[in-house]
Amino acid sequence: MAGKTFKWGVVAPGRIAHTFAKALKVVPNASLYAVASTHLDRAKSFAQEYECVRAYDDYQSLMDDPQVDAIYIANPHRFHYECAKKCLMAGKPVLCEKPLTVNEAQARELVDLAETHQTFLMEAVWTRFLPIWQQVLTWLDEKRIGDLCVMSSSFAFNVPRDRDDRLLNNELAGGALLDMGIYNLTMSQFVMQCEPNLIIASGMIGETNVDERTSVILDYDGVGSQFTCGLNTRLDNGFTLYGNKGSITIVSMFWAATKAVLCVEGEEEVAVELPFRATGFEYQIEEVMSCIAKNKLQSDVMSWQDSINTMKTMDEIRRQIGLEYPFLESI
């Protein structure tokens, strides 16, 4: 209905949920209607900060609320699968933080559920929707750097040694790959629009049994992508695409970038800056709302198959580096 306010619900009001809520303020005809947390005081505090109508102390109540038009899932990786599954079974459209699940099998099950229940589902890879990455695609389509040959990127920080933090917690599916490396991988596949035909990975598993450094080489029928992600040192954190006539560099931090530099034949040709309207999450939020308005079950920019391919590749990387999540064996 024209003019109707689209009402969002949020599961788990942690750090990233605040980024979502701030972005929602600049999205036309949208509001944050409900939030759910396992701790009611956290839900109420979040609701008060963002003028949210409902605060729940359990997720199912949010899923059952008939006023909620879609749900943003922002809890730790391990719980994405179960939470998204319940949302889809309740008929609620889902925008789920990356990674969509912890492995390929879970991702495929969610896709099957979305199709069965005819309910929208999208992995929240916000980077794919950023204006600067749309500019990068335009340059590639125009062959400004000739034929693409190699991509090189990094995503690594020296994070605090807090064993209780999800990044270092194996039980919460922590580690560099699922939290950071997914960006290097999904943006490589965003550019290539296919799966790699060769995957070579090495990694360092730390004392808490998560990968603290993972380095990967991917080959896409002759186009290479190499990246390192990590928790124990800071790297450049840019993303560069090299062609036979030039290069495109998305500056640090590439997953949240507003600037890209095009160089042709070794000379800087143009530097483009495209700032966000808010936090950058607004573009993926608008994609979800647009898809739902058009009765689409998935996004063309972040499709179900894209998410499955990402999980399939990460499963192989985890196998090669010996990163195991014992809780998967009981599912």
Rounded mean pLDDT of 177-194? Answer: 97
> What angle do the packed helices 282-293 and 15-24 form, to 10 degrees?
70
Q: Which residues contact 135 (CB under 8 A, 6 or more apart)?
A: 260, 272, 274
Q: What span, in angstroms and rounded, lies between the C-alpha atoms of 216 and 203?
A: 9
pTM of the model as a whole: 0.96
Q: Which residues contact 118 (CB under 8 A, 6 or more apart)?
A: 297
pLDDT digits 0-9 by tens, 43-77: 999 999 999 999 999 999 999 999 999 999 999 99
The pLDDT, as a whole number, for residue 331 is 46
Say if residue 253 is preceded by a cis peptide, omega within 30 of 0: yes
Q: Tell me which range, 164-168, 263-267, 296-300, is most confidently predicted by mean pLDDT.
A: 296-300
Contact call for residues 190 and 203 (beta carbons, < 8 A): no
Is pLDDT at 2 greater than 70 in this prediction? no
User: pLDDT-derived band of residue 1, with 50, 70 and 90 as boundaries?
Assistant: very low
Residue 6 tokens read as: 């689209």
pLDDT digits 0-9 by tens, 153-162: 999 999 988 8
| Share of residues in the chain with pLDDT > 70 (%) | 98
Q: What span, in angstroms and rounded, lies between the C-alpha atoms of 276 and 98?
A: 20
The pLDDT, as a whole number, for residue 247 is 96
- For the chain, domains (ranges, CATH) are 6-127 (3.40.50.720), 131-275 (3.30.360.10)
Contact call for residues 63 and 92 (beta carbons, < 8 A): yes
